[in-house]
Amino acid sequence: MRLIRILSAAAMPVLGASLACAQTVVGEMYATDASVRGSVLFSGGGTRIESGSSVIAGDAPAAVKLSRGGEVRICPRTGVNVTASASGRDLMIAMNTGAIEAHYTLGTSADTIMTPDFRILLAGPGIFHFAISADLQGNVCVRALPHNTASLIVTELNGDGTYQVKPTVQVLFKNGKIGDPSPLIPPGCGCPPAPEQPLRAAEPPKPAPPPPTPPPAVAKETPPAAPTHLEMDAPFVYQGDKEPYDIQFQIARLRLTEGSIFKDREVLPPPAPAPAAPQTAVVNPPKSPPKKGFFAKMKSFLGSIFK
């Protein structure tokens, strides 16, 4: 019921102006999930909102870039109706519940924001940065944002109360009345802050790869020298009519050769000489006369006969 009363009461003073300037472009809207009812034009950057259109924001705020300069932010789940004057310099924004933010500069013009219980006037000249919220119980909060330099005039629709909100003041009006304003505003007065993008730690730069090193020179292995063996060529002459101790040796001829003549045999050094045994005197026994053989005995026998 309150919304119907606001729209009808607020539209009546500007009805003629709205009909005369039905094609006035208020601004261009940028949103991901907002819906628009009324006269709109589609452009490359966004949706152009014409006077008399209604905008309902989705889960994200909808930003309306005003043709005259500045911006109006429609907070999530908030629906507004926007009407412009014939010149396009004055705006009237009507809302039931929700929140909006104003970010613009006015010269000699004035804007009006309507809620079910209050009329809020933004009269120039000045720089306006304000957040305004309204709920179903008739509570309205007005909060000055950073860099604001202008004042607002709040007037009751069902009474004669008026309140001037200073440029750096925040105030809450309860139950549609101005008589008992409070500086304790709810935390959700205005649009929620934009979610901060998570900061990612910059990855340390990767160290440059070391320059390629030439492969180390591999020393060529020298094959082991073949073992040198000694061969001896020592012919000897044996004569059977001489004593064994009288073997004659010729001078040996030596030559160096490679390889071994003893296949698969291990050559061992000569054994160490055994210690000499002590010598003892040997007494030769007397020689016995040699025994005569058969022929000698026969000779002696014959000799004794023929004597």
Residue 104 token pair: 């613009």
Residue 177: how many CA atoms within 13 Å on its side-chain side? Answer: 4
- pLDDT of the residue at 16: 45
Is 62:77 a contact under the CB 8 Å cutoff? no
Say what the alpha-carbon torsion angle 8, 14, 16, 17 is, to the nearest 10 degrees: -140
Q: How far apart are CA 222 and CA 239, in angstroms?
A: 52
What pLDDT tens digit does each residue of the chain (307 aa) get?
Answer: 444 444 444 444 444 444 444 468 899 998 888 888 887 776 666 788 889 999 999 999 999 999 999 999 999 999 999 999 888 889 999 999 999 999 999 999 999 999 999 999 999 999 999 999 999 999 999 999 999 999 999 999 998 999 999 999 999 999 999 988 999 998 889 998 766 655 565 566 677 777 777 666 655 666 666 555 545 555 555 555 555 544 444 455 555 556 555 555 565 667 777 776 666 555 555 565 666 666 666 667 666 665 5
List helix spans (H) across the chain.
2-11, 15-20, 294-305
Burial profile 192-202: b = 16 or more Cβ within 10 angstroms, e = fewer: eeeeeeeeeee
Residue 287's contacts (CB-CB under 8 Å, 6 or more residues apart) are none
Please name the amino acid found at residue 303. Answer: G
**Is the separation of the CB atoms in 41 and 22 below 8 Å?**
no
**pLDDT value at residue 264:** 58
Closest CA to 248 of 234, 238, 258: 238
Hey, what amino acid is at 231? E
Residue 44 has a pLDDT of 63
- Residue 249 pLDDT: 47
Q: Cα–Cα distance between 14 and 90 in angstroms, integer?
A: 11
Q: Report the distance separating Cα 235 and Cα 305, nearest Å.
A: 57
Residue 122: what pLDDT?
95
pLDDT at 135: 93
